[in-house]
Amino acid sequence: MMTSDELDGLRSTIRDFADREIRPTAQQRDRDEAYPDELLPGLVEIGVIGAVIPEEFGGAGLDDAGYRVVMEELGASDSSLRSLVSVNLGLVAKSILRWGTDEQKQQWLPKLARGELGAFGLTEPGAGSNPSQMTAKAVKEPGGWRLDGSKIFITNGTRGAVTKIFARAIVDGEDRGITCFLTPQDAEGYTGTQIHGKLGLRSGDTAEIALDGVHVADDAVLGEVGGGMKVALSALDDGRFSLAAGAAGIAREALEVSVQYATEREQFGTPIAAKQLVQELLAAMHVDVQACKGLLDTVVEKKLAGERCTLEVSTAKLFCTEASVRCADRAVQVHGGYGYIDEYPVQRMLRDARVTTLYEGTSQVQHLIIGRLLTGQNAF
């Protein structure tokens, strides 16, 4: 378990890197929809890209307390980057560690740690909140499987090395259930196309994927044939923790820059920080930030103890993501008209925060998961 000194050291290393390399260029990347190629080597070097990958596979071997720090600091500085790392680690690397064979770990984890990223291909045009409606197929053929279908909104879907493709396994014409396939992005028949014009995460890689007769070998199956939903749901538990921590980072940053702005900006002869209604906005943000912190503390405690914590993770995901939108929105309010232009980061924070209540299970889906775990009744 990482000590508090180690966690503080990690936080200041990432903050220093973010202040030097990420924050000064984030606005321009956002404007240009420019992928952060130039930042990846530095993030690999300080151990962020492979944060939770064990050292034997070239990663930094951080525990979940350290992982939370990484996600918070990236979320605070640039959510497009946070999303890229969060999918690489939360949805892919951790999943390969949990479900992969020794060969799969050897094949993919060193690449993921080096910044040859992983992607998670669950969502389809007709199957979002309900992935069991998916139609992508993997038909058994000699020596492997033939994948056909399409996926949408896949983070790291064109810039990565591997995508976890979820598809229905068909053996001798019989549907054996949703299965996860570790699919190289350079496989013949795999085409990733960037989706442009997003509200936020504009410098991230979000792709539509066409699978047209992609052949993968038998050893590409992650977990068991028919066990794909187990793989997906356990990965989403990890991914939602990453996302909750990243969103908490947005909320915290929104508050910090708002306090600073309110202290400097003067109207009616005093800093606006002295106005009661501005303080109300700041106080509301502070309450959200503290509540996020408490929820994440609970998740980390359970994870470090090796306990299952789907309820706590969904609770944190729901609250922290909604809080990030509220805090970023209030930050725009505190900044007045200046909050609406990209001279200040708060408009980007609001646009970036907005997707967090949508992906990895919408807020409605989190309410339904929490309700089901509390009552045993399925209301989907």
Ligand X SMILES: Cc1cc2nc3c(=O)[nH]c(=O)nc-3n(C[C@H](O)[C@H](O)[C@H](O)COP(=O)(O)OP(=O)(O)OC[C@H]3O[C@@H](n4cnc5c(N)ncnc54)[C@H](O)[C@@H]3O)c2cc1C
CA-nearest of 90, 73, 85, 81 to 35 is: 81
Q: How far is the CB of 324 from ligand X (least distance, A)?
A: 15
Q: How far is the CB of 115 from ligand X (least distance, A)?
A: 17
- Closest to ligand X by CB, 106 vs 129, is 129
* Residue in the shown chain whose Cβ atom is closest to ligand X: 128
Q: In the annotation, is 360 catalytic?
A: yes
- Closest to ligand X by CB, 165 vs 255, is 165
Backbone angles phi, psi at 328, to 5 degrees: -65, -35
- Closest to ligand X by CB, 68 vs 198, is 198
Rounded Cα distance, 258 and 281, in Å: 9
- Closest to ligand X by CB, 52 vs 209, is 209
CA 296: distance to chain centroid? 15
Q: How far is the CB of 358 from ligand X (least distance, A)?
A: 6
Q: How far is the CB of 207 from ligand X (least distance, A)?
A: 9
Q: How far is the CB of 29 from ligand X (least distance, A)?
A: 15
Q: Which two tokens stand for residue 338?
A: 């200046």
CA-nearest of 30, 23, 26 to 201 is: 30
Catalytic residue of the set 72, 116, 322, 360: 360
Partnered with residue 163 across adjacent β-strands are 119, 183
- Closest to ligand X by CB, 153 vs 181, is 153
- Closest to ligand X by CB, 132 vs 290, is 132
Site residues for ligand X per CB under 6 A: 87, 120-123, 128-129, 153-155, 198, 201, 206, 355, 358-360, 362, 364-365, 380
Is residue 72 within 8 A of residue 248, CB to CB? The reply is: yes
Q: How far is the CB of 359 from ligand X (least distance, A)?
A: 4
**Active-site residue set:** 360
